[in-house]
Amino acid sequence: MNKEKQKEEIGKYAAQLIKDEEVIGLGTGSTVKYLANALGKRIEDGEKFYAVPTSYQSMQLCINNKINIVTLHEFTPEKAFDGADEVDPSKNLIKGRGGALTREKIIGYSAKDFFVLIDDSKFVEQLGSKFPVPIEVLPLAYTSVIKRISEIGNPILREAKAKDGPVISDNGNFIIDLWVKIDNPKTREVELNNIPGTIENGIFTRECKTISIVDDVIDVK
């Protein structure tokens, strides 16, 4: 099964875990889009869903599919659903290719169950093998953060594609991509967040359930 088909099947499967009237955390990215679209179909048939979105893209998915948008101030979702860029054998993650890592972490870490939707290209032996660790930083601190993390790996300020200059996150900040192999995800996650000016980083170490496809069959671990 090709990657896009895997994403579609995984998204549809995840949607079946959501009950009518349930409040969920809705992640960001191309896999979660299939989940939102599947909920949209059920809404056309009369069901109702509520979501705390993790980004403007996620908010747009809600609007387009008529999923009611709510906030963490009002609800703590039992379940949050999101994609990932890398997953190691202990189910630690790198997230944030789409720049939404901060809200994704706030919402993903608040939910009772965190479901991670991943096609088979996302499995790695060690975090940092294919993707950098994104770090959201206050613009005024980006040079001082880069100086500090240069001791750890190779930091690159993320440049915008359709705008001159850096990417601006949904929260108005810069994103630095740190290329580094991660030996101890839990320690690194805390260490990066201790650097002044850092808002959040894309290493996720909370317990999660992965939904993937193995030999053309859905696999939940």
Q: Which residues are catalytic?
A: 104
Among 14, 36, 80, 84, contact with ligand 5RP (rule: CB under 6 A): 84
Question: At closest approach, how far in Å is the CB of 151 from ligand 5RP?
Answer: 26
Q: Which is nearer to ligand 5RP, 58 or 146 (CB)?
A: 58
Residues 92-121 that bind ligand 5RP (CB under 6 A): 95-101, 104
Residue 218 beta carbon to ligand 5RP: minimum distance, rounded to whole angstroms: 16
Number of residues lying near ligand 5RP (CB under 6 A): 17
In whole angstroms, the minimum distance from the beta carbon of 133 to ligand 5RP comes to 12
**Strands of the 113-117 sheet, one edge to the other:** 68-69, 50-53, 23-26, 79-83, 113-117, 209-214, 217-220
Cβ nearer to ligand 5RP, comparing 84 with 149:
84
Judged by beta carbon, residue 45 or residue 214, the one nearer ligand 5RP is 214
Q: Are 218 and 9 in contact (CB under 8 A)?
A: yes
* Contacts of 42 by beta carbon, 8 Å cutoff, 6+ apart: 15, 20, 49
Burial 130-167 (b: 16+ CB within 10 A, else e): ebbbbbbbbeebbeebbebbeebbebebbeeeeeeebb
Letter for the amino acid at 29?
A: G
Please report, as residue ranges, which positions from 27 to 46 form the binding site for ligand 5RP (by CB under 6 A). Answer: 27-31
Q: Which helix (H) or strand (E) holds 194?
A: none
Counting runs of H as helices and runs of E as strands, what totals does the chain give?
6, 14
Which residue's entry shows tokens 């996720």?
A: 204
Q: Residue 9: CB partners within 8 Å, gap ≥ 6?
A: 1, 213, 218
CB of 28 to ligand 5RP, least distance (A): 4
| 53-82 footprint of ligand 5RP as x/- string (CB under 6 A) | -----------------------------x
Touching ligand 5RP, residues 1-30 (CB under 6 A): 27-30
- DSSP conformation class of 140: G
- Amino acid identity at 12: K
Residue whose CB is less far from ligand 5RP, 117 or 145: 117
Nearest distance, CB of residue 70 and ligand 5RP, angstroms = 20
Binding positions for ligand 5RP, rule: CB under 6 A = 27-31, 82-85, 95-101, 104
